[in-house]
Each structure stands twice: as C-alpha cells, then as structure tokens.
Structure 1
C-alpha cells in the first residue's frame, strides 16, 4: 500500500486506525482473488493506491466509461444524437431503440445487450483514437478483442478523471450522464459509504460464471465541495461475500480522505 501526491513530493501519513481498516479489507479480498485500488482527491492530487497495475476482468464496470466515449467524443461533437435509433447490431435486434435508451439501460441497469449493441455501432467511429488521445495504450490497457475488457485500477482511475472533467462541462448531455451514474442499480461504493450526504456516481461490475470472475466498482465521490476518484478492481468471484468485502474496501478508502486534503 502506498500514498502518493501528483503535485509534490510530500509523504502522506494515514491514521493507524484507517491504515489497519484498509489493510484488513484488502487482506479479506486477497483470500478470494487479486485486488487493486486507487483513491485520490482531485483537488489536492493526493491519494492512496495498492496494486494499481493488477489486471482483472472488468465485467460491467466498463459500461460507464464507454458511455463517456460516446457522449464526450461523438454526441458533443454532433456526430451522433442521443435520439438516433439503432436496429440490429452485433447479432442483437435492438428494436430500433435510441442511443439514449441503450446508454441508460447499460449504465443504470447494466444491460449487456444494450452495451454490446453500442460497441458494435460505435467502436469504429473513433473509439481507439479517443483512448490513445487520453494517453492510454489501447492494446495493453484495454483488450480490443473483448466487449468487456480486462484492465487495471490505474487505467480505471485515469478514465474516471476524464469522466469528472467531462461532467464538469455542464452541458445537457453531460448532466444527463451524471444523473445516470448517480442512479446505478448496484453500487458497492455507495453501500460501503452509506451516507445520504455523499454523491456517488459509479459503475460496478460483477460476474462468476463461464470462467470469468470479478467484483469491481469505480466512480466519483462528492462531499463537502471535494471530488474523489475511486477504483476498486478485484478478481473475486461475485457473491454476497465479495460484495461485502468490496463495500468494506470502499468504506476504508473513503475514511482516509482527511489525510488527502
């Protein structure tokens, strides 16, 4: 486990109680699989990280980040309208649903067919250029052969920082996407923090079938005028237990925020 600062060489010290709680939560996760985390304050650039380059199957956690690509790169530039309709893509008959409906279904309800249809429609419109433009290596950071990529907390945090920058633009589309992220049907981060005064905009991923194992969550956390990026990625097979452990990691990370100011 390490603390870091993006703006200076200051060495951060976590309270013993917070350090112990975080280490305990990470130890519980490692009994079930690999785990990596990144948590930092966007204002101060200070954060906490552990195993940030571990690559795990991201499952549905990537759906929000792909929605970011569509909204930021395609909708805002006028190449795509949220009211455009899609028919059959990737072997899925979408019944001429709108881009708006498909993004909402993928982000809020984690609908796989909607996400796959979006990828089939928009991967070749500029997705690779968008990824590379963010300083992320397309081939190593995001598996181009899978709709649901295997990636790491460092890449996840980088993309959620871009999400924060986009949502702060305060356009009609960015605010619409912000509302979807605040309404996701499952959030281990939200469960862990359990505070109605905290705004959590996230997308979780979870699976335990066909040889794929993942319990992940990542997003933006807003409290007291500050925004934090959090990414918790694990290869724990999804279960009630892995959900509880991921929520405990989120809570332990969140409780370190005083040291990051």
Structure 2
C-alpha cells in the first residue's frame, strides 16, 4: 500500500514539475550546434591536454550568441602580464569619460625599474612619456615599467575596485597577482564591447593586434585577426593568453598553462586555440535555427522597419550571415533577424521545407496576417505585417502557399488585399 501511494505521489510530482518547468529551445530529437560544439571540443581539448601534460585552464565565449565553454575556467593562477589588459582598459575608459588625459606626461623614476619584458628599461631615468605611449608600450611590448608607472598613476586600490566592479573574481587577493581564464574573458569581452562604441577602445584593440608576442593563440588561428595579451613567467613554467578573435562570429578565448616548459607551452596554447577555432567555425556555419522567443523580422540589417514576426520555437533556414544578423527568405526578398534571438541547430528536424519552388505571384496583406504550418488546424508560425508584399508559389483552396525562411507556410485568402500573378 505504501509503495502504491509512493508511486502515485511520484507521478503527480512529475506532472506538476513538467507544468512548472518550461520546454527547452530544442526538443529531444534536435541537437543544437552548441551542444555539438561542446561535445566535440571537450573531447578534443581534454585528449590533447592529457597528452601535453601540465595544468591547463580555458574559457571560451561566443560574442554573438553568448554561448560559453570552459575547462576549470574559475581556477586561479598567476596572472603574469595579462594583468596589464584590465589596467589599460580602465585607463582608456576613464579617458573616454574625460577623467584621464592621455597626453599627460609621466616621468620614469629609478624606483619604477623592473626587468623582464619591455623597452623602457633601456631608456634613461628621467625620461617622460605620455599616458597614451605607456599604454601602447604595455600592450605591444608588455612593458613592465610602463605598467608600474600607469598603476601608480591610477592607484592600486582604484584598479582593484575597477576589476571587481566589472566582474573579476581575482583582484590582487592578499596582494597576489592572480587571475583566471574566466576573469580574462570578462576583460576581453568588455574591451570588445568598448571598442564597438569608442575610438579609444578601437585604439587599444589596435595595440593588441600589433603585439610582438604572437606565438600562442594567433599562431593557432591563421588568417584571422586576433587582439590578445600574453603573460608568462618562464622560470615558473607559466604562460597565459587572453584574446578577442575576430572571426565572422567573433569570440573571446583565454588559455592559462602551468607546469609546461616555456617553449612547449606556446605550442600547446596555439594547438588548443586551433581546436577551439575549428569547432567554433563548425558551430557558426550552422544553417538551421530555432527562435528562442517571438522574433521581430526586419526589412534590413537594422531595426528601422519591422515587416513581420517569427513565433517562438519555430525552425528556419538562413540564406545570409553577416555581423550580428541572419538573413532569411521573407517578403519579396530577404528579411533579417538578430542572431541573439535564435539558437543554432545541427540539422533541421521538421518537415515542410520549401525547395526553391518557382514564385508565381505576389500577395499584399490587408492586416497583420498569421502564417500557419498547415491548412487544417494549423499552428501559427509567424505573422506578416499589414501592407507587406510577399511572393507565393502555389494556391491551395483558400490559402496561398509561401516560403517562410525555407519553410512552407500558408496564408488565408481573407488576409489578402491585392494580388499580382504572372510576373
């Protein structure tokens, strides 16, 4: 009797749970491109890391879709010169706000001296440099003295407060120069966003594209622009790199290594970057997508003119891919949707795909017209806005058959105000 009651309770709980928890973007029969990416990149990276030895932490984030992947991304390790990236970013952001003058000159004093990477150590004590020149040297040559002078200018407490404010988990904890792959991607992503709206952000990215240290992430990603900041402590067998990769779908990638020789670690980072990039490109080449929510369809790749709506959880095929926009067959040409509004699928899992059927005429909507997936008891998959012109390729009963993002859709005759046939 107790067992029976227990089973009944479990069934009720499952039913209630299924009512509370919303459905996933992709059904069990569908495989998202990100799921496929995660599975493959995880397998390939872990296999390579096991072979290379040492400790590797890594974080990837697609800057268009927001999708992420990591291997121990929150694990702390010595930052080395990657700490120079958030400092340079902070200075350029403050300059954008008018709170720092990049033309202010700072004087190189004897206590600023520090060996290792950089070019200022060859100059005379007493030489002056603009803040802009120090930022440039810190990014291109990873100049240690430039970093020390800049950090003195803004104050370490202020710098720590900034890193924490933007999401950094490790900001000189107990005075230690630590970071994580996750923190480094936070700074790289922030720089990418800053560079899209500020000339000073673009200037900083430009310095990082010209760095003299290019044996790591850029070496594994040939033919693609990479803005990155390395950090290494050869004697302690530490080598790190944090990058913005300017692929057609840009992404950020941070890789941190420990316990691998100085020479080998550079090859390891390059090869890990190559694995990530290969799988990123495969993910970004997906042709089929499902809407996350109701998606506005625009006349061009801006938000100036809405021409329709794609309903939530609808699958479609793209015909163009540019920047943050996808193009789909819509109206008398192409409609545009934001990439962030859809989730990529590995392959299509619905029937009813149009196969470049010949267009025989144009219909015009007299009101916002629902598009259904079948004529009898059809489900609404989209809406055409009022006065929108649309190609059709067949007439069936009281419906016009249209191509909606590669799918067959049906618009009832009662929504049509004008018709042109025999083009």
Are positions 1:167 and 2:195 aligned together? yes
Partner of 1:13: helix, strand, or coil?
helix
| Residues 206 and 238 in structure 1, CA contact (< 8 A), matched pair in contact too | no
Summarize the alignment of residues 162-201 of structure 1 with structure 2, pairs less than 5 Å apart: 162-171=190-199, 173-187=200-214, 188-195=216-223, 198-201=224-227
Q: 1:142 Cα deviation (Å)? A: 3.6
| Stretches of structure 1 lacking an aligned partner (at least 5 in a row) | 1-6
Extract unaligned runs of 5+ from structure 2.
1-23, 27-31, 113-124, 285-343, 345-423
2:70 to 29, 49, 55: 49
Match of 1:143 in 2: 173
- Cα distance in 1 for partners of 2:38, 2:153 equals 48
Q: Does 1:241 align with 2:267?
A: no
Q: Flag the 1:164–1:18 CA change in 2: closer, same or farther, 3 A.
A: same
In 1, Cα distance between equivalents of 2:179 and 2:25: 28
SS where residue 175 of structure 2 aligns? coil
State the SS of the aligned residue for 1:14: helix
The residue number in structure 2 matching 1:218 is 242
- What is the CA-CA distance between 1:14 and the residue it aligns to? 3.0
Number of aligned residues: 242
Alpha-carbon separation, structure 2, partners of 1:248 and 1:239: 15
Superposed displacement of residue 101, structure 1: 1.2
Where 1:220 maps in the other structure, the secondary structure is strand
Q: Judging changes above 3 Å, is the alpha-carbon distance between structure 1 residues 94 and 117 closer, same or farther for their aligned structure 2 residues?
A: farther
TM-score, L = length of structure 2: 0.53
For residue 78 of structure 1, the aligned residue among 98, 107, 114 is: 98
Q: 1:81-160 counterparts in 2 under 5 A? A: 81-88=101-108, 91-92=111-112, 93=125, 95-124=127-156, 126-137=158-169, 140-143=170-173, 145-146=175-176, 149-160=177-188
Q: What do the CA deviations read for 1:60-101 (whole angstroms, capped 9, x no partner)?
A: 1221221001111x2112121111111146812462111111
| 8 Å contact kept, 1:207–1:237 | no
Separation of aligned partners in 2, 1:8 and 1:213? 43
**Deviant stretches of 4+, over 6 Å:** 7-11
